[in-house]
Structure 1
């Protein structure tokens, strides 16, 4: 008999799958130097539109394609406004985040609570029968398998291919990349749109898989986009570390549910929102070692304790791409 905690952790992997896909999408975009702050609105609008299209057509594939298209178009608007029109990426992204959210709630009213198609679990033959590992990894939705595949492909692409080297060069030192004949603006457009498409795909995954429908403001999707942006930073713009951040957030959400019946003295609302401040606290740790007061406190510790603390802080420390959000004009 499979232990209950295995099914719980399998649920954590399922909940982390859309987060992981969106984080990797934003990682691609920011690696190229484009900050796409429209993620929250894009995910909401993609989630609503994907579900609406799937209901109308009966096709899950059409729903996912529409979700990816919406994410790509919103990212294209951010890229065009910043790369071509030289407007603030932050301002344009924030406006689109609000616009996407409001459009999703307004246009999605007719589809609230409507039953529709949903992606089911597809066990992998033979592997699904393995004890513990089978229920955990091989009796999942296709979105979970796609999330793990996305992690692998993103890591290989960024760190083991020449286009990945070009991507890193554009995000770190665009003038040097340009002098080597790389079309910096075109590359930034390409990865911004790719990242947006993955964000839209993640939004569609919520209503067509994880949540199983559109419930408007109570769908539980609003705010996830901001968590995606935070996890991207926590992950140090690295697909594997970003995926670990997504798994951590999903684990914290699961623990908040598990602990509710065991801690009756704590209001359920506190446990429900606990993953968000805990994720913010984890994010703060990524740059804690650079602060003057932290250095002062570490200096007061015994040598052995100081070495351990420094090792932990250095493992968490991240540095953004040098040209992130920095305009570059090809001449």
Structure 2
């Protein structure tokens, strides 16, 4: 029974984290190029609403995901265009967009609130699903979960094992030097802002069509964009660490739900919000670990020193800074 419970828990973590994996991998690519997109929360809600409406009207999940991805691209294009070509604050533009997209999603999606629509079902993989132990956890999931796991490996390989990934990192660190080497820094930044926006749009569709099916107010994806931004920082802008942070957050959410039955005297709201302050605490710990005297203070605690080095990450140097091509 314990083994079965563990399998169910791990399967739930993989499935629950899948939309956030899409969003965090997209934002990792965007920020690696030096562009910060703060519109994630609004983009996820607007694309979630768009995906549900398109799926409801057309009965096509493929069209729904494509429409949601297009919404993500359009919002990211506004952030990138204003920041890269007009020299405006990416933070300010992204923050305004997340508020506008959220309200727009609830306004336009109001007629479709609480309706029953198409959903993405499970796609067990033949033969693999019968592997003892791993089968029920890894190979009895939806195709969105499979795609999210593959995306982690693909993002890491692209960033660190391809020429395009090297150009991406060069632009994010020093766009002027990259331009001097013949790289069109603006085009690179725009490209990965749009790619990241597309993945964020797919994340919204994954929420409303799979992980938290349906549309209404409040929608279960509200606040996930801010969590995705925090997890990218938590992971030090490295895809594997970002993915681990995403799975940790999903685990905390599922444990919070499970503990409601174990501790009925504790208000359910405590378990619902618990993952959020834990993530904030982790980010504060990461910030403190980068202070000059942090390693000296932790020198006598090997476990703490290893943890600090594991969580340490450095943001791309040109992140959020307007680049003016000479």
For 2:121, the equivalent position in structure 1 comes to 120
Name 2:23's counterpart in structure 1: 22
Shift of 1:297: 4.7
Q: Distance in 1 between matches of 2:209 and 2:303?
A: 45
| 1:205 equivalent in alignment to 2:206 | yes
Show the counterpart of 1:324: 319
Q: Displacement of 1:307 after TM fit?
A: 3.6
Q: TM-score, normalised by structure 1?
A: 0.95
**Superposition pairs for residues 168-183 of structure 1, below 5 Å?**
168-183=169-184
Say whether residues 1:158 and 2:159 are aligned partners: yes
Give, in angstroms, the shift of residue 291 of structure 1: 3.3
1:22–1:202 contact (8 Å) kept in structure 2: yes
Give 1:33 shift.
0.4
- Report the Cα offset of residue 293 of structure 1: 7.3
CA distance in 2, matches of 1:117, 1:312: 44
Q: Deviations over 1:214-269 (max 9, x none)?
A: 1221x211100000000000111111111111100000000001111112232111
Q: Deviation at 1:11?
A: 1.1
Q: 1:295 to 1:241 in 2, by over 3 A?
A: closer
- 1:46–1:71 Cα contact (<8 Å) kept: yes
- For 1:312, the equivalent position in structure 2 comes to 307
Compare 71-80 and 312-321 and name the one that shifted more.
Answer: 312-321
What SS is found at the alignment partner of 1:8? helix
Which residue does 1:270 correspond to in 2?
270
Cα distance, 1:4 vs structure 2: 2.4
Task: Determine if the alignment matches structure 1 residue 289 to structure 2 residue 284.
Answer: no
Distance 1:308 1:203 in 2: 38
How far off is 1:85 after superposition? 0.9
Per the TM alignment, residue 43 of structure 1 is displaced from its structure 2 partner at its CA by 0.2
Judge which range, 163-172 or 315-324, deviates more. 315-324
Contact 1:285 1:317 in 2 (8 A): no
CA shift, 1:271, in A, is 1.1
What are the residue-to-residue correspondences of 1:136-151 with 2, within 5 Å? 136-151=137-152
SS of 1:261's equivalent?
helix
Contact 1:19 1:228 in 2 (8 A): yes
Residues 117-162 of structure 1, C-alpha deviations (whole Å, 9 max, x = no match):
1111000000001122111000000000000111111111000000
Give the C-alpha shift of residue 173 in structure 1: 1.1
Q: CA deviation at 1:310?
A: 2.1
Q: How far has the Cα of 1:28 moved from its partner?
A: 0.4
Whole-Å separation in 2 of the counterparts to 1:186 and 1:233:
24
Aligned equivalents of 1:45, 1:103: Cα separation in 2: 7
Count how many residue pairs are aligned between Structure 1 and Structure 2. Answer: 325
2:47 and 2:127 map into 1 onto residues whose CA distance is 35
Unaligned stretches of 5+ residues in structure 2: none
The reply on whether 1:38 has 2:39 as its aligned counterpart is yes
SS of 2:35 mapped into structure 1 = coil
Q: For 1:19-98, what aligned pairs fall within 5 Å after superposition?
A: 19-98=20-99
Task: Give 3-state SS (helix, strand or coil) of 2:301's partner.
Answer: helix
Between the aligned partners of 1:140 and 1:155, the Cα distance in structure 2 is: 23
TM-score norm. by structure 2 comes to: 0.97
Aligned mates of 2:192, 2:310 — CA distance in 1:
28
**Pairwise CA RMSD:** 1.4
How far did 1:295 drift?
A: 5.9
